[in-house]
Protein backbone atom coordinates (compact mmCIF):
# COMPACT_ATOMS: atom_id res chain seq x y z
CA UNK A 1 0.00 0.00 0.00
CA UNK A 2 1.30 3.47 -0.82
CA UNK A 3 1.94 5.54 2.26
CA UNK A 4 1.53 9.31 2.61
CA UNK A 5 5.28 10.07 2.70
CA UNK A 6 6.79 7.29 0.62
CA UNK A 7 10.19 8.27 -0.77
CA UNK A 8 10.42 11.48 1.24
CA UNK A 9 13.07 12.57 3.72
CA UNK A 10 12.26 14.54 6.87
CA UNK A 11 14.53 16.53 9.19
CA UNK A 12 13.37 16.57 12.81
CA UNK A 13 15.10 18.61 15.51
CA UNK A 14 14.83 17.67 19.18
CA UNK A 15 14.24 14.08 18.08
CA UNK A 16 15.75 12.26 21.07
CA UNK A 17 12.52 12.01 23.06
CA UNK A 18 9.05 13.46 23.61
CA UNK A 19 7.27 14.91 20.61
CA UNK A 20 10.36 14.85 18.38
CA UNK A 21 10.75 11.09 18.81
CA UNK A 22 7.03 10.62 18.22
CA UNK A 23 7.19 12.69 15.00
CA UNK A 24 10.20 10.68 13.79
CA UNK A 25 8.44 7.35 14.27
CA UNK A 26 5.09 8.62 12.92
CA UNK A 27 6.63 10.06 9.74
CA UNK A 28 8.76 6.92 9.29
CA UNK A 29 5.58 4.82 9.50
CA UNK A 30 4.27 6.99 6.64
CA UNK A 31 7.32 6.03 4.60
CA UNK A 32 9.78 8.87 5.25
CA UNK A 33 13.47 8.46 6.01
CA UNK A 34 14.59 10.62 8.92
CA UNK A 35 17.40 13.04 9.68
CA UNK A 36 17.28 13.36 13.48
CA UNK A 37 19.19 15.92 15.50
CA UNK A 38 19.24 16.60 19.22
CA UNK A 39 21.61 18.33 21.61
CA UNK A 40 21.27 15.30 23.93
CA UNK A 41 22.91 17.07 26.84
CA UNK A 42 21.98 19.57 29.53
CA UNK A 43 21.68 23.36 29.17
CA UNK A 44 22.43 24.92 32.57
CA UNK A 45 19.42 27.24 32.73
CA UNK A 46 16.91 24.43 32.06
CA UNK A 47 15.47 23.36 35.44
CA UNK A 48 14.78 19.71 34.52
CA UNK A 49 16.76 16.88 32.88
CA UNK A 50 17.12 17.17 29.12
CA UNK A 51 17.54 14.24 26.72
CA UNK A 52 20.55 11.93 26.70
CA UNK A 53 22.58 10.23 23.91
CA UNK A 54 20.78 7.00 24.88
CA UNK A 55 17.44 8.67 24.20
CA UNK A 56 18.62 9.62 20.71
CA UNK A 57 19.82 6.05 20.11
CA UNK A 58 16.40 4.77 21.16
CA UNK A 59 14.72 7.04 18.59
CA UNK A 60 17.05 5.61 15.92
CA UNK A 61 16.16 2.09 16.99
CA UNK A 62 12.41 2.82 16.83
CA UNK A 63 12.68 4.40 13.38
CA UNK A 64 14.74 1.48 12.04
CA UNK A 65 12.10 -0.91 13.44
CA UNK A 66 9.60 0.67 11.02
CA UNK A 67 11.89 -0.31 8.14
CA UNK A 68 12.99 3.24 7.35
CA UNK A 69 16.47 4.73 7.45
CA UNK A 70 17.68 7.33 9.94
CA UNK A 71 20.77 9.52 10.16
CA UNK A 72 21.06 10.96 13.65
CA UNK A 73 23.53 13.33 15.25
CA UNK A 74 24.10 15.20 18.45
CA UNK A 75 23.69 18.73 17.16
CA UNK A 76 22.75 21.93 18.96
CA UNK A 77 20.22 24.03 17.01
CA UNK A 78 21.87 27.14 18.47
CA UNK A 79 24.87 26.38 16.25
CA UNK A 80 23.70 27.22 12.74
CA UNK A 81 26.86 25.98 11.00
CA UNK A 82 26.78 22.64 12.81
CA UNK A 83 23.10 22.20 12.00
CA UNK A 84 23.70 22.95 8.32
CA UNK A 85 26.50 20.37 8.35
CA UNK A 86 24.28 17.77 10.04
CA UNK A 87 21.54 18.32 7.48
CA UNK A 88 24.02 18.13 4.60
CA UNK A 89 25.40 14.85 5.97
CA UNK A 90 21.88 13.45 6.21
CA UNK A 91 20.99 14.55 2.70
CA UNK A 92 24.25 13.08 1.36
CA UNK A 93 23.23 9.71 2.80
CA UNK A 94 19.47 9.76 2.21
CA UNK A 95 19.50 11.58 -1.11
CA UNK A 96 17.08 14.50 -0.66
CA UNK A 97 15.10 16.63 1.78
CA UNK A 98 11.37 17.35 1.61
CA UNK A 99 10.28 18.11 5.16
CA UNK A 100 11.64 19.94 8.19
CA UNK A 101 10.04 19.80 11.62
CA UNK A 102 11.59 22.48 13.85
CA UNK A 103 10.68 20.94 17.17
CA UNK A 104 13.68 21.32 19.50
CA UNK A 105 12.82 23.42 22.50
CA UNK A 106 13.41 24.10 26.16
CA UNK A 107 11.16 25.34 28.96
CA UNK A 108 11.80 27.17 32.20
CA UNK A 109 10.20 29.71 34.46
CA UNK A 110 10.63 32.97 36.25
CA UNK A 111 9.08 36.43 36.27
CA UNK A 112 10.20 38.72 33.46
CA UNK A 113 11.49 41.38 35.84
CA UNK A 114 13.69 39.02 37.83
CA UNK A 115 14.85 36.19 35.54
CA UNK A 116 18.53 36.16 34.63
CA UNK A 117 19.91 37.51 31.36
CA UNK A 118 21.31 34.04 30.64
CA UNK A 119 17.92 32.39 31.14
CA UNK A 120 16.22 34.78 28.72
CA UNK A 121 19.01 34.53 26.13
CA UNK A 122 19.15 30.71 26.25
CA UNK A 123 15.41 30.56 25.66
CA UNK A 124 15.51 32.90 22.66
CA UNK A 125 18.62 31.13 21.32
CA UNK A 126 17.05 27.67 21.37
CA UNK A 127 13.33 28.28 20.90
CA UNK A 128 13.49 31.08 18.33
CA UNK A 129 16.94 31.37 16.74
CA UNK A 130 17.14 27.56 16.69
CA UNK A 131 13.97 27.47 14.58
CA UNK A 132 15.41 30.04 12.19
CA UNK A 133 18.63 28.00 11.96
CA UNK A 134 16.52 24.96 11.11
CA UNK A 135 14.86 26.89 8.30
CA UNK A 136 18.24 28.10 7.03
CA UNK A 137 19.70 24.59 7.12
CA UNK A 138 16.71 22.96 5.46
CA UNK A 139 15.60 25.34 2.74
CA UNK A 140 18.60 25.00 0.38
CA UNK A 141 18.28 21.21 0.45
CA UNK A 142 14.49 21.30 -0.07
CA UNK A 143 14.90 23.88 -2.84
CA UNK A 144 17.54 21.74 -4.57
CA UNK A 145 14.92 19.03 -5.08
CA UNK A 146 12.69 21.43 -7.04
CA UNK A 147 9.60 19.61 -5.78
CA UNK A 148 8.48 22.03 -3.06
CA UNK A 149 8.31 20.93 0.53
CA UNK A 150 6.89 21.51 3.96
CA UNK A 151 8.29 23.10 7.10
CA UNK A 152 6.51 22.81 10.45
CA UNK A 153 7.61 24.92 13.40
CA UNK A 154 6.54 23.98 16.90
CA UNK A 155 5.10 26.95 18.74
CA UNK A 156 2.59 26.47 21.58
CA UNK A 157 -0.62 27.93 22.94
CA UNK A 158 1.95 30.14 24.66
CA UNK A 159 2.67 31.50 21.17
CA UNK A 160 -0.88 32.84 20.92
CA UNK A 161 -1.45 34.58 24.27
CA UNK A 162 0.38 35.98 27.28
CA UNK A 163 0.97 33.60 30.18
CA UNK A 164 2.51 34.53 33.52
CA UNK A 165 5.57 32.79 34.92
CA UNK A 166 7.47 31.95 31.73
CA UNK A 167 7.54 35.13 29.67
CA UNK A 168 10.78 34.24 27.88
CA UNK A 169 9.07 31.09 26.52
CA UNK A 170 5.93 33.06 25.56
CA UNK A 171 8.12 35.63 23.79
CA UNK A 172 10.06 32.99 21.83
CA UNK A 173 6.92 31.08 20.86
CA UNK A 174 5.26 34.29 19.59
CA UNK A 175 8.43 34.99 17.60
CA UNK A 176 8.09 31.62 15.89
CA UNK A 177 4.73 32.76 14.50
CA UNK A 178 6.35 35.83 12.91
CA UNK A 179 9.11 33.65 11.50
CA UNK A 180 6.55 31.24 10.05
CA UNK A 181 4.31 33.93 8.53
CA UNK A 182 7.22 35.60 6.78
CA UNK A 183 8.82 32.37 5.61
CA UNK A 184 5.44 31.21 4.28
CA UNK A 185 5.31 34.29 2.05
CA UNK A 186 8.95 34.17 0.98
CA UNK A 187 8.91 30.45 0.13
CA UNK A 188 5.43 30.15 -1.37
CA UNK A 189 6.61 30.77 -4.97
CA UNK A 190 8.72 27.61 -4.65
CA UNK A 191 5.80 25.63 -3.21
CA UNK A 192 7.58 25.31 0.12
CA UNK A 193 4.86 25.51 2.74
CA UNK A 194 5.48 26.77 6.26
CA UNK A 195 3.09 26.32 9.19
CA UNK A 196 3.15 26.42 12.99
CA UNK A 197 1.60 23.99 15.42
CA UNK A 198 0.26 25.09 18.79
CA UNK A 199 -0.18 22.28 21.30
CA UNK A 200 -1.50 22.80 24.81
CA UNK A 201 0.24 20.72 27.49
CA UNK A 202 1.71 17.57 25.97
CA UNK A 203 2.57 14.49 28.03
CA UNK A 204 6.38 14.65 27.70
CA UNK A 205 9.31 15.05 30.12
CA UNK A 206 9.08 18.82 29.51
CA UNK A 207 6.00 19.03 31.74
CA UNK A 208 6.29 15.79 33.73
CA UNK A 209 9.03 16.89 36.10
CA UNK A 210 9.23 18.17 39.68
CA UNK A 211 10.17 21.82 38.96
CA UNK A 212 7.26 22.19 36.50
CA UNK A 213 4.86 20.51 38.95
CA UNK A 214 5.89 23.16 41.47
CA UNK A 215 4.90 25.88 38.97
CA UNK A 216 1.39 24.43 38.54
CA UNK A 217 0.80 23.34 42.15
CA UNK A 218 2.83 25.62 44.44
CA UNK A 219 0.28 25.03 47.20
CA UNK A 220 0.95 21.26 47.39
CA UNK A 221 3.85 19.97 49.51
CA UNK A 222 6.61 18.61 47.22
CA UNK A 223 5.95 14.96 48.13
CA UNK A 224 2.31 15.30 46.98
CA UNK A 225 3.20 16.78 43.58
CA UNK A 226 2.70 13.56 41.63
CA UNK A 227 1.57 13.02 38.03
CA UNK A 228 -1.89 12.03 39.32
CA UNK A 229 -2.20 15.03 41.64
CA UNK A 230 -1.04 17.44 38.97
CA UNK A 231 -3.35 16.18 36.19
CA UNK A 232 -6.44 18.14 37.37
CA UNK A 233 -4.34 21.33 37.42
CA UNK A 234 -3.36 20.88 33.80
CA UNK A 235 -6.95 19.94 32.98
CA UNK A 236 -8.18 23.39 34.04
CA UNK A 237 -6.29 24.76 31.01
CA UNK A 238 -8.30 22.66 28.52
CA UNK A 239 -11.96 22.71 27.48
CA UNK A 240 -11.95 19.02 26.59
CA UNK A 241 -11.93 16.94 29.77
CA UNK A 242 -8.30 15.83 29.54
CA UNK A 243 -5.16 17.02 31.35
CA UNK A 244 -2.83 16.92 28.36
CA UNK A 245 -2.63 15.72 24.76
CA UNK A 246 -0.37 12.82 23.81
CA UNK A 247 2.72 13.26 21.59
CA UNK A 248 0.98 11.11 18.97
CA UNK A 249 -1.90 13.63 18.74
CA UNK A 250 0.64 16.27 17.74
CA UNK A 251 2.45 13.84 15.41
CA UNK A 252 -0.82 13.06 13.62
CA UNK A 253 -1.26 16.77 12.91
CA UNK A 254 2.35 17.03 11.71
CA UNK A 255 1.95 13.96 9.47
CA UNK A 256 -1.02 15.62 7.79
CA UNK A 257 0.60 19.06 7.48
CA UNK A 258 3.71 17.68 5.77
CA UNK A 259 1.74 15.44 3.41
CA UNK A 260 0.24 16.28 0.04
CA UNK A 261 -3.19 16.17 1.68
CA UNK A 262 -2.28 19.63 3.02
CA UNK A 263 -0.72 20.76 -0.26
CA UNK A 264 -2.37 24.18 -0.21
CA UNK A 265 -2.09 24.79 3.53
CA UNK A 266 0.56 27.38 4.31
CA UNK A 267 0.86 30.19 6.86
CA UNK A 268 -1.51 28.38 9.22
CA UNK A 269 -1.38 28.31 13.01
CA UNK A 270 -2.73 24.84 13.72
CA UNK A 271 -3.93 24.33 17.29
CA UNK A 272 -3.81 20.88 18.87
CA UNK A 273 -4.93 22.26 22.17
CA UNK A 274 -8.01 20.45 23.50
CA UNK A 275 -9.87 23.74 23.19
CA UNK A 276 -7.49 25.71 25.43
CA UNK A 277 -7.59 28.75 23.19
CA UNK A 278 -11.40 29.02 22.85
Ligand X SMILES: NC(=O)c1ccc[n+]([C@@H]2O[C@H](COP(=O)([O-])OP(=O)(O)OC[C@H]3O[C@@H](n4cnc5c(N)ncnc54)[C@H](O)[C@@H]3O)[C@@H](O)[C@H]2O)c1
Active site residue 234: no
Piece of the chain touching ligand X by CB under 6 A; list 1-9, 32-40, 137-145, 252-260: 32-40
Q: Which helix (H) or strand (E) holds 249?
A: helix 247-257
Using CB under 6 A, pick the residue from 25, 50, 99, 258 that binds ligand X.
50
E-strand stretches of 9-145: 9-13, 33-38, 70-74, 99-102
In this structure, are residues 199 and 276 in contact, taking their beta carbons and an 8 Å threshold? no
- Could you say whether residue 151 binds ligand X (CB under 6 A)? no
Q: Determine, following the binding rule CB under 6 A, whether residue 110 of this chain makes contact with ligand X.
A: no
**Out of 5, 13, 133, 134, which residue is the one contacting ligand X (CB under 6 A)?**
13
**Using the rule CB under 6 A, is 17 a contact of ligand X?**
yes
Angstrom distances, CA of residue 100 to CA of 120, 151, 262, 278: 26, 5, 15, 29
Report the residue from 9, 18, 97, 216 that binds ligand X according to the rule CB under 6 A.
18
Q: Which of 148, 213, 160, 215 is nearest to 184 (CA)?
A: 148
Asked whether 45 and 122 are in contact (CB, 8 A), the reply is yes
* 154 is an interface residue for ligand X by CB under 6 A: yes
Binding-residue pattern over the window 171 to 210 for ligand X, x denoting contact by CB under 6 A? ----------------------------x-xx-xxxx---
Beta partners for 104? Answer: none
Closest CA relative to residue 96, chosen from 33, 36, 38: 33
Question: Closest by alpha carbon to 148, among 97, 95, 85?
Answer: 97
Q: Is 270 in the site for ligand X (CB under 6 A)?
A: no
State the minimum distance, in angstroms, from the CB of residue 210 to ligand X.
14
7 or 275: CB nearest ligand X: 275
Nearer to ligand X, 8 or 23 (CB): 23
Closest to 43 (Cα-Cα) out of 104, 114, 84, 113:
104
User: Residue 39, interface with ligand X (CB under 6 A)?
Assistant: yes
Q: How far is the CB of 273 from ligand X (least distance, A)?
A: 9
Q: Catalytic residue numbers?
A: 169
Positions in the binding site for ligand X (CB under 6 A):
13-14, 16-20, 38-40, 50-51, 76-78, 103-107, 126, 130, 154, 156, 199, 201-202, 204-207
Amino acid sequence: MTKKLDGKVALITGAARGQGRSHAVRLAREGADIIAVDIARQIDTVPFDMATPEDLEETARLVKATGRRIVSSRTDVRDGAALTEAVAAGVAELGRLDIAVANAGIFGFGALDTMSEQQFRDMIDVNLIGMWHTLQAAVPAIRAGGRGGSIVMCSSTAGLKGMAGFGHYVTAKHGVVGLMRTAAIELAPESIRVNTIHPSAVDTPMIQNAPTYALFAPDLPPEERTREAIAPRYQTLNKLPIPWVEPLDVSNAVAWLVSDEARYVTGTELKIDAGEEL
